Chain A
Amino acid sequence: GDSVTQMEGPVTLSEEAFLTINCTYTATGYPSLFWYVQYPGEGLQLLLKATKADDKGSNKGFEATYRKETTSFHLEKGSVQVSDSAVYFCALSIANTNAGKSTFGDGTTLTVKP
């Protein structure tokens, strides 16, 4: 079946540090890949997405590149802020099968200290 594996957290960084959160996947078809963010007390928000190999998704300074050869979609940000503290989920969804339901990783908690 489909699965997503994220690097274990929690991750604690100082403000302006470089962030990488690793994500790898296995999929029965050709997936679209997503990063969602969940702030305390809120629902999941889509952060960025990529739908085919070598696509780069980007939003709010975050980036992730769809690497089919390594089945990875690592999240990066060059300079984190305190406001980036949240839980980050990597997910995949396969069009034309599974009706678009998403398979999620277990999440990585990021804490950014001033």
Chain B
Amino acid sequence: DTGVSQDPRHKITKRGQNVTFRCDPISEHNRLYWYRQTLGQGPEFLTYFQNEAQLEKSRLLSDRFSAERPKGSFSTLEIQRTEQGDSAMYLCASSETGTTTYEQYFGPGTRLTVT
């Protein structure tokens, strides 16, 4: 396995458009996390899945954001009616369950620029 992958790596969109990002976790990992990172800040938790179930969403995740993991493998994060404040790096991470450390493996991120 080559690790967590994300697509696209970069996305430029105009305000008001919808965008969708994809994350492919490490194959044996059943937990998948989405984070958002803005310049000069650490990643902030958005949501996570255990298998196909979305178990928690941050207050940062407004109604314009939706995430899915339909078959418990890859995940998508959609942002509707994008705003300039959505410009950020969107990071995906995956981990195993059944461990005490919850070590997470991160993808390279998708950088979103809203013009």
Interface residues of A (CB under 8 A from B): 4, 32, 34, 36, 42-46, 49, 51, 89, 91, 93, 95, 99-107
Q: Are A99 and B91 in contact (CB under 8 A)?
A: no
Q: Other than the known A102-B45, A102-B104, A103-B45, what 20 A-B pairs have Cβ atoms closer than 8 Å?
A: A4-B42, A43-B107, A44-B91, A49-B101, A51-B100, A89-B43, A93-B104, A95-B102, A99-B48, A99-B55, A100-B31, A100-B102, A100-B104, A101-B56, A102-B93, A102-B102, A106-B40, A106-B41, A107-B40, A107-B42
Q: Are B55 and A93 in contact (CB under 8 A)?
A: no
Which of B33, B93, B106 has the most A CB atoms < 10 Å from its CB? B106
Q: Chain A residues near B41 (CB, 8 Å)?
A: 106-107
Q: State the Cβ distance, A24 to closest chain B Cβ, in Å.
A: 14
Total number of B residues with any Cβ neighbor in A under 8 Å: 27
Smallest CB-CB A-B distances: 7 pairs: A100-B102, A104-B42, A44-B106, A43-B108, A43-B106, A101-B45, A93-B102
